[in-house]
């Protein structure tokens, strides 16, 4: 029986190769010219035995784990050629989509200026340019502009370019900044004199890009990365005008499950070193006026104790889960007595309200809360404790505190948008409760009217009885009778919440009859901290089954059907895609998996891979058998079987530091070997980019256009 099934599969595959060659040689062409035949790429098998806990796994494609191997590059290029050839008939449509998406975006756009230390800072773009210009002006908002960095000039000669982590000295004269030209999030820090425009010879390599100036305007603290694992593990002190080799190590995080970072409090009084893992945090602090002093531990780490700190007056405010406050509470302590046993409760824990953040001003503090999945902003006076909430009336909105670096102000800047309402930046007067819309996102092209779209929040019942919320948006003319195409998206990991947000890009799907759904599955924090806890470690499978149960609900309620349901997710959301494809492939007509984390067991056992050890609290440590077994039971790569799969598009980047390219490459190779259907399977590898894709403002839209063209092609909706 087993032999016959293998023989049958081989015959099917041989027929598929011939069928694909014939079909695409005669029908799929550009400009009506016949296309040459192309065979389905087949990666060679070179079995490697992987043993753990007396369990043996055979990995036929482990050899793909070497980006320096010419044979590996040749295979990736073969996959790219296959993808490009078989989607050649969509290329003109991709261009149409790209121009359409680009046409909705204001090219000569600029952020709303924010005030910091006497200057107004803004980021703007120019027509025809891909990269931002960082500028500032002094005094009034309309004063003469001073360009700090024109990234369009700096990016010349680079396939990828990203400038970030701009840090301005307290005298406003110096700017430290980080540059990444590889897309592995390894930044080189440089220093520019904003008065003379001279870029100093100080060069600090292999950093996170972020840095903090001490009050002397000469001392710079920064975070360095391990060159192999890319874990941010060391904090150094650099003196202006000296070589990086002379920099002083001020802190080293030796626990491989922790990463370190550094920042300055809003009060500007302290420089803070943070160390964090998924479940535990620890901080050290030093007065900015004493850069050569010793950092003092705020409160020693205790496994499971999470906290963050904000400084005000002579006190620290501590947002923490101390004493089983799973949705967090706010405590405070004197700045000279900061250990946890000195913390006093300021705002108690509330079971139904997730306390996400606190922003401190001279006369007010603002709490960012989440209740029943919805964002709330609560404003409280320090002197009277009189409090009120900003009013939001929709059920599919996103509201958040924006850039508020100025401490002595009564103006709160916040952002608001929804699935149908473009983003707005709003200045709210906390004294008289008046507000001014500083900017509302312009949707160009002349066809957008928010009244043409509808949004709602619906709830599916998971197989264990839990209600799963979904945010839904569609054009008002779209039929809800089961005949409409629907794209279901989710992430579902690390407690990261995907709020319902507006997207001009998404309009290209909605205007062509697609319904778009964000599934707020367990693993995020949409419904509070427990929503996250119930979607991680040994409960991770809830994330996957929640998504599938949402899909079933959407079909049952006639939003769509199996023939028109699509799914997409990236990174950890790509893991989600890989798992649902193994568990319920029959539900979907097509799936897009972007930079997918699909080889969970092998990756989590390899401590040399960037960021692995810090992930143990999220996925579990496979060196422990219970976690190994559970991980193996859902890992997409380990659970590919001989069954029919829908049409799949997989994307990755050769230089990805978050999810190594070989995970999706191996996964596609194994799918090709085992799947029993005739549906197309594509692997598209960006040979220049990393985890975030292309770096240009509009270049990234080309990647979205590829994905949308893939979906619309399956729906027969390609029209130039």
Domain boundaries, the chain: 40-102+505-714
Which of the residue ranges 19-23, 473-477, 527-531, 540-544 would you say has the lowest mean pLDDT? 19-23
CATH 3.40.50.10490 given to domain 40-102+505-714: no
Question: Which one has a higher pLDDT value, 154 or 15?
Answer: 154
Question: Dihedral of CA 9/15/18/24: which sign?
Answer: negative
d(CA 612, CA 601): 11
Average pLDDT over residues 21-28: 32
In tens, the pLDDT along 453-482 reads: 999 999 999 999 999 999 999 999 999 999
Query: What is the bridge-based pairing of β-strands 647-653 and 329-334?
Result: unpaired
Question: Which one has a higher pLDDT value, 570 or 719?
Answer: 570
Query: What is the bridge-based pairing of β-strands 133-138 and 146-150?
Result: antiparallel
Question: Which one has a higher pLDDT value, 278 or 183?
Answer: 278
Whether the Cβ atoms of residue 443 and residue 376 lie closer than 8 Å to each other: no
Whether the Cβ atoms of residue 309 and residue 342 lie closer than 8 Å to each other: no
Query: Does pLDDT of 342 surpass 70?
Result: yes
Average pLDDT over residues 482-500: 97
Burial group, residue 339, by CB count within 10 angstroms (0-12, 13-18, 19+)? exposed
The per-residue pLDDT for 719 is 72
d(CA 609, CA 665): 16
Of 296, 300, 421, 310, whose CA–CA distance to 355 is shortest? Answer: 310
The DSSP element (H or E) to which 619 belongs, if any, is: helix 616-619
The Cα angle at residue 389 between residues 403 and 351, in degrees rounded to 5: 100
The Cα angle at residue 365 between residues 360 and 370, in degrees rounded to 5: 105
Question: What angle in degrees, to the nearest 10, is found between the helix axes of 70-86 and 662-674?
Answer: 60
The per-residue pLDDT for 497 is 95
Query: What is the bridge-based pairing of β-strands 248-252 and 232-239?
Result: antiparallel
Count helices and strands (H / E) in the chain.
13, 37
Catalytic position from the list 311, 349, 553, 691: 691
d(CA 235, CA 249): 6
Whether the Cβ atoms of residue 149 and residue 177 lie closer than 8 Å to each other: yes
**Is 656 a residue of the active site?**
yes
d(CA 330, CA 349): 8
Tokens of 23: 């079909």
Query: Does pLDDT of 282 surpass 60?
Result: yes
Cβ–Cβ contacts within 10 Å for residue 698, how many? 17
The per-residue pLDDT for 142 is 65
Query: Does pLDDT of 238 surpass 60?
Result: yes
Q: What is the 3-state secondary structure (H, E, C) of 656-668?
A: CCCCCCHHHHHHH
Query: Does pLDDT of 541 surpass 60?
Result: yes
DSSP class of 483? -
Average pLDDT over residues 368-392: 96
| pTM of the entire predicted model | 0.87
Cβ–Cβ contacts within 10 Å for residue 692, how many? 18
Q: In a 3-state reduction of DSSP, which class is residue 527?
A: coil
d(CA 622, CA 628): 4
Catalytic position from the list 571, 594, 635, 657: 571
- The residue count for the chain: 720
> In which band, very low, low, confident or very high, does the pLDDT at 638 lie, cut at 50, 70 and 90?
very high
> In which band, very low, low, confident or very high, does the pLDDT at 278 lie, cut at 50, 70 and 90?
confident
Query: Does pLDDT of 679 surpass 90?
Result: yes
> In which band, very low, low, confident or very high, does the pLDDT at 14 lie, cut at 50, 70 and 90?
very low
Query: Does pLDDT of 16 surpass 60?
Result: no
d(CA 91, CA 706): 8
Query: Does pLDDT of 611 surpass 70?
Result: no
d(CA 316, CA 331): 8
C-alpha distances in angstroms, 166 versus 54, 162, 222, 328?
50, 12, 12, 31
Cβ–Cβ contacts within 10 Å for residue 320, how many? 22
The per-residue pLDDT for 265 is 96
> In which band, very low, low, confident or very high, does the pLDDT at 486 lie, cut at 50, 70 and 90?
very high
Name 133's Cβ contacts closer than 8 Å, sequence gap at least 6: 123, 124, 125, 126, 147, 149, 150, 151, 152
DSSP class of 204? E
Query: Does pLDDT of 33 surpass 50?
Result: no
The per-residue pLDDT for 624 is 96
**Is 508 a residue of the active site?**
no
d(CA 689, CA 360): 38
> In which band, very low, low, confident or very high, does the pLDDT at 584 lie, cut at 50, 70 and 90?
very high
Average pLDDT over residues 632-639: 98
The per-residue pLDDT for 482 is 97
Average pLDDT over residues 66-73: 94
d(CA 408, CA 238): 30
The per-residue pLDDT for 690 is 52
Token pair 């002006």 in the structure block, residue: 137
**Is 553 a residue of the active site?**
no
Query: Does pLDDT of 697 surpass 90?
Result: no
DSSP class of 126? -
DSSP class of 699? H
In tens, the pLDDT along 192-206 reads: 999 999 999 999 999
> In which band, very low, low, confident or very high, does the pLDDT at 720 lie, cut at 50, 70 and 90?
low
> In which band, very low, low, confident or very high, does the pLDDT at 18 lie, cut at 50, 70 and 90?
very low
Catalytic position from the list 247, 617, 656, 684: 656
């Amino acid at each position: 029986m087993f032999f016959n099934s293998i023989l049958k599969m081989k015959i099917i595959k041989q027929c598929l190769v011939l069928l694909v060659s014939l079909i695409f040689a005669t029908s799929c062409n550009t400009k009506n010219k016949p296309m040459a035949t192309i065979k389905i790429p087949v990666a060679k098998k070179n079995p490697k035995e992987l043993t753990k806990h007396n369990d043996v796994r055979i990995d036929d494609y482990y050899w793909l784990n070497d980006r320096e191997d010419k044979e590996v590059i040749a295979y990736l290029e073969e996959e790219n050629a296959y993808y490009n050839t078989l989607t050649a008939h969509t290329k003109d449509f991709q261009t149409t989509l790209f121009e359409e998406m680009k046409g909705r975006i204001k090219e000569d756009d600029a952020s709303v200026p924010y005030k910091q230390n006497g200057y107004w800072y803004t980021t703007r773009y120019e027509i025809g340019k891909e990269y931002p210009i960082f500028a500032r002006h002094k005094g009034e908002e309309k004063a003469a502009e001073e360009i700090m960095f024109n990234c369009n000039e700096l990016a010349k000669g680079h396939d990828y370019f990203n400038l970030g982590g701009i840090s301005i000295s307290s005298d406003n004269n110096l700017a430290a900044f980080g540059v990444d030209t590889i897309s592995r999030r390894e930044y080189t820090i440089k220093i520019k004199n904003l008065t003379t425009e001279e870029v100093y010879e100080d060069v600090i390599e292999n950093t996170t890009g972020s840095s903090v100036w001490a009050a002397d305007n000469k001392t710079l603290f920064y975070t360095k990365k391990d060159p192999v694992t890319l874990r941010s593990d060391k904090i150094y002190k650099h003196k202006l005008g000296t070589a990086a080799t002379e920099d002083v190590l001020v802190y080293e995080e030796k626990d491989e499950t922790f990463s370190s970072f550094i920042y300055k409090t809003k009060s500007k009084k302290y420089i803070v070193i943070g160390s964090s893992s998924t479940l535990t945090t620890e901080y050290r602090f030093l007065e900015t006026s004493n850069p050569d002093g010793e950092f003092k531990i705020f409160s020693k780490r205790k496994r499971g104790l999470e906290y963050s700190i904000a400084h005000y007056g002579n006190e620290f405010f501590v947002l923490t889960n101390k004493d089983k406050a799973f949705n967090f509470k706010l405590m405070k302590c004197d700045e000279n007595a900061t250990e946890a046993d000195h913390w006093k409760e300021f705002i108690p824990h509330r079971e139904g309200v997730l306390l996400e953040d606190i922003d401190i001003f001279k006369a007010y503090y603002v709490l960012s809360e989440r209740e029943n999945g919805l964002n709330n902003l609560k404003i409280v006076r320090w002197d009277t404790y009189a409090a009120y909430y900003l009013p939001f009336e929709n059920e599919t909105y996103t509201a958040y505190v924006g850039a508020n670096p100025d401490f002595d102000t009564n103006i709160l800047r916040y952002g608001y948008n929804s699935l149908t309402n473009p983003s707005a930046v709003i200045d709210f007067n906390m004294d008289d409760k008046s507000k001014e819309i500083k900017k509302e996102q312009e949707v160009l092209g002349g066809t957008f009217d928010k009244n043409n779209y509808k949004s709602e929040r619906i709830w599916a019942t998971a197989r264990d009885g839990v209600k799963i919320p979904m945010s839904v948006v569609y054009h008002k003319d779209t039929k809800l009778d089961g005949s409409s195409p629907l794209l279901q998206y989710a992430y579902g990991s690390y407690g990261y919440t995907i709020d319902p947000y507006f997207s001009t890009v998404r309009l290209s799907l909605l205007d062509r009859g697609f319904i778009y759904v964000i599934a707020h599955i367990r693993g995020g924090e949409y419904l509070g901290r427990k929503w996250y806890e119930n979607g991680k470690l040994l409960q991770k499978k809830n994330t996957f089954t929640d998504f599938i149960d949402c899909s079933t609900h959407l079909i049952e309620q006639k939003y769509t059907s199996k023939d028109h349901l699509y799914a997409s997710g990236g990174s950890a959301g790509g893991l989600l895609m890989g798992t649902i494809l193994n568990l319920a492939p029959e539900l979907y007509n097509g799936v897009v998996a972007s930079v997918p984390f699909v080889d969970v067991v092998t990756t989590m056992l390899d401590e040399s891979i960037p960021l692995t050890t810090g992930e143990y609290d999220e996925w579990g440590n496979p060196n422990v058998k219970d976690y190994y077994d559970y991980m193996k039971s859902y890992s997409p790569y380990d659970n590919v079987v001989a069954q029919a799969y829908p049409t799949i598009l997989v994307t990755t980047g050769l230089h990805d530091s978050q999810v190594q390219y070989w995970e999706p490459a191996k996964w596609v190779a194994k799918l090709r070997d085992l799947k029993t259907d005739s549906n197309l399977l594509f692997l598209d590898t960006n040979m220049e980019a990393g985890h975030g894709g292309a770096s240009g403002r509009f270049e990234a839209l080309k990647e979205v256009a590829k994905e949308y063209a893939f979906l619309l092609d399956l729906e027969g909706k390609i029209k130039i």
